[in-house]
Amino acid sequence: MFFNDLNRLTSILCSIIKPGFMAEIQSLAATGQLAESNTVVQKAVFPGFLLVTTVFATVTIVLLIFYFFKRIKPFLYSTVIFVSLSVLLLIIGEKIPFYAVWIPAVLLVTGLWIVRLAFLLLQSVQNEISKEKQDCEKEYERRLKQADIERKTFDLEEARKLQLSMLPKHLPDVKHLDIAVFIETATEVGGDYYDFLQAEDGSLTLGVGDATGHGTKAGIMVALMKSLFNTASQSFYIPDFFNHCTKMIKRMNFRNLYMAMTLARITGHKMILSASGMPPVLVFRDKSGQLEEIIIKGMPLGAFTGFPYQQKSVNLFPGDTLLFMTDGFPELFNDDFEALEFERVRDCFEQNARKAPQAIIDELLALGEKWRKGRPPDDDITFVVVKVKKV
């Protein structure tokens, strides 16, 4: 039945391609020459079938090799196959029935597309597996980074708590002084430091320091200065204490790590102070309304052994107010990368110096907040305000 349908289809195709071909066959049948023609056709069919099969198999293999190595695009090899098929039909169409060419051609083309689809399916599966593997690796790396960040955050938080625990938990109670302090670190572990030490004779030693940079190394420097301040700050002439600190820092082999510091000792209504690389101390005179800047130049601690630090003596009167600070506040930047600068801080302090120490700090912080407009500080900020009480 199948071959009868093919013969009908072949007859139709032959009539279209070569008119008169069926009439020629009928003429051969009438004269008795059809049997001989069938023999000729049979002899021609099988060699032709083998020829077509060989040609198409070769073309298929070559094109598949090219395709697997991505040297040609998929649509191109289909075009080449059907062009080759058309050429073969033109060459051997006179001797071979059409079904003898089309059957192997269709089978080969179908097989080729099956191979192609199988290859695409395999490639899709491989891509999916590769994508899942990459996603798993990315997720694993993300979790590792997250765990590392959490560990570092925990360590820094513990270091911050340790550093804050080294700051005075209570302000000293000196009958003729009113004191307020503020500290804000730019990172988890800051480099700013303040401390108080009250002697039995009622004198008060206060220190305000600023380690270079911030972070873990600056925190270590603060811990060292805390120890030196508590053990030796009252036993030395202040410049000698500074040189002693420099020797200890150098023994610790801190490279490019220094400590700027202001140290003041208040006894009654007299203050002596010295500084190493710190901003000026501001003194507001309540009686005259004048603002004084006590400027003491000196190298940060740990820089040079035997540096000739200066020491000054200042008389204090009821109502006078002192401002000690680190350089983080005057160096606050706004969105235009403009620094707040010392002059603005000086004016703000002068305008509010008759207020209580905590109110003065609040006004300074308001000035800084207005200036930076929510921008986080680039350096630590520390204030110590001391007001001499009126009788």
Percentage of the chain beyond pLDDT 70 is 66
Rg over CA atoms, the chain: 48
Query: What local confidence, expressed as pLDDT, does residue 211 receive?
Result: 87
What b/e readout covers 136-159, taking b as 16+ CB neighbours within 10 angstroms?
Answer: eeeeeeeeeeeeeeeeeeeebeeb
pLDDT in tens, 90-132: 555 545 555 555 566 566 666 666 776 777 788 888 888 888 8
When mean pLDDT is compared across 5-19, 69-83, 158-172, 177-191, the lowest value belongs to 5-19
User: What pLDDT band is residue 23 in, cutting at 50, 70 and 90?
Assistant: low
Q: What is the per-residue pLDDT for 97?
A: 55
Which string of DSSP letters, residue by residue, matches 81-145? HHHHHHHHHHHHTTTS-HHHHHHHHHHHHHHHHHHHHHHHHHHHHHHHHHHHHHHHHHHHHHHHH
Q: Quick one: average pLDDT of 305-326? A: 95
Please, which pLDDT band fits residue 326 given cuts at 50, 70 and 90?
A: very high
Tell me if the domain spanning 171-388 has CATH number 3.60.40.10: yes
* Residue 34 clears pLDDT 70, i.e. is over it: no
Q: Mean pLDDT score of the chain, rounded to an integer?
A: 78
Residues of the chain with CATH 3.60.40.10: 171-388
Output the CA torsion sign for 332, 338, 340, 341.
positive
Locate all alpha helices (DSSP H) within the chain, ordered by sequence. Answer: 2-17, 21-30, 34-68, 74-92, 98-166, 216-232, 238-251, 342-352, 357-372
Return the C-alpha torsion angle 324, 233, 235, 314, nearest 10: -10
Say what the pLDDT of residue 82 is.
55
Q: What is the pLDDT of residues 244-290, one digit of tens each?
A: 999 999 988 877 889 999 999 999 999 999 999 999 999 999 999 99
Global pTM value: 0.64
Cβ atoms of residues 53 and 106 within 8 Å: no
What 8-state DSSP symbol labels residue 9?
A: H
Q: How confident is the model at residue 159 (pLDDT cuts 50, 70, 90)?
A: low
Question: Coil, strand, or helix at residue 178?
Answer: strand
**Portion of the chain with pLDDT greater than 90, in percent:** 36
